[in-house]
Amino acid sequence: MLGGTTEATQLATALAKTGYDALFSYAGRTNRPVAQPLPTRVGGFGGADGLAGFLKDDGITHVIDATHPFAAQMSTNAITACGNTEIPLVAFERPPWQAELGDNWLSVSDITAASLELPDHPARVFLAIGKQHIDAFAARPEHFYLLRLVDTPTQALPLPNAHAVIARGPFDEAGDLALLQEHNINIIVAKNAGGQGAAAKLAAARALGLKVIMIDRPHIPARRVLGTVGDVMTWLDHSADLGV
C-alpha cells in the first residue's frame, strides 16, 4: 500500500487484522511519519520503472494507492508500473470538498494560479498547502503568511514575512477559528484534499466570512477509485479469491 493519508492509516489497521502479507510505503515527506500497524518502508522507488522493479522483486500481487490526492506523480507512476507488470491496482481516495452555503471560494487550477489571485494590497494569508510549494509565493512578498507544518523547518522559509505553526492534524473548528483570529487572517489558500482531518479550517473560514482560494486536484490518468475501507477490502478479498 502506498500511503500517507488518514484513510491509509485506517486501511492499514483493517489490513493488520487479516492474514494478508501487507507492506505500507511512505514517500518520506515528513520526518516523523505516523506509526503503522504494518511493516513499513520509507522513500521513493526511482520512478515508474523503479516501482515496477520493486513490485516484481518483492512478489507484490496487489497495489493500493492511498496517497494524498495531490501526489499526482506517485499515482501516475503506480498506474504505469502496475500496467507494465499486470498487477491489479486500486486507488483509495477521499472525495474532494464541496463549497457549502456561506462559503466564499475561488477555485483555481494550480499553485501558481493561487498566488496570482492574491490581492495587490498586503493581506494576511493562511497558506494551508504544506511545505512542498511555498516557494511559489516568494514572488508575493507583500503579504504575511501563516504556515502550518508537520516538521520544524530546517532552513529559512522562502517568505520574508511568515510564521510557521508546527502541528499535525486532525484539527477541529474551534482550534482553527482561534488560530485564524489570533493571526488576523483574511484569506486562506488551500488544496482541495478532501477528508475530515483538515476540513476544520473551511468551517472556520465560513464562520468568519473569509475568502478561500481553493486549488483544484491535479489530473491523474484513469484508474479504479474506491472510497471506503470496506470497498477496498471487498476488492482485495474478491481479486485474491480469483487469483488475480
Equal CATH topology for 6-95+219-242 and 104-215: yes
Query: What is the per-residue pLDDT across 227-239, written as a single tens digit (0 to 9) for each?
Result: 999 999 999 998 7
Structural domain spans, the chain? 6-95+219-242, 104-215
Query: What is the per-residue pLDDT across 83-105, written as a single tens digit (0 to 9) for each?
Result: 999 999 999 998 999 999 999 99
Question: CATH assignment of 104-215, given 3.40.50.720, 3.40.50.20, 3.90.1150.10, 3.40.50.300?
Answer: 3.40.50.720
- The C-alpha angle 83, 52, 16, rounded to 5 degrees, equals 95
Give the closest residue to 30 by CA, choosing from 68, 79, 73, 78. Answer: 68
Query: What is the per-residue pLDDT across 118-172, written as a single tens digit (0 to 9) for each?
Result: 999 999 999 999 888 899 999 999 999 999 998 888 888 899 999 999 998 889 9
Task: Give me the architecture of the 6-95+219-242 domain, per CATH.
Answer: 3-Layer(aba) Sandwich (3.40)
Query: How high is the mean pLDDT of the chain?
Result: 93
pLDDT at 241: 57
pLDDT for 188 beyond 80? yes
pLDDT at 182: 97
- Asked if 185 and 127 touch (Cβ cutoff 8 Å), the reply is no
Cβ density class 70-89: b for 16+ within 10 Å, e for less? bbeebbbbbbbbbeebebbb
Which pTM was predicted? 0.88
N residues, the chain = 244
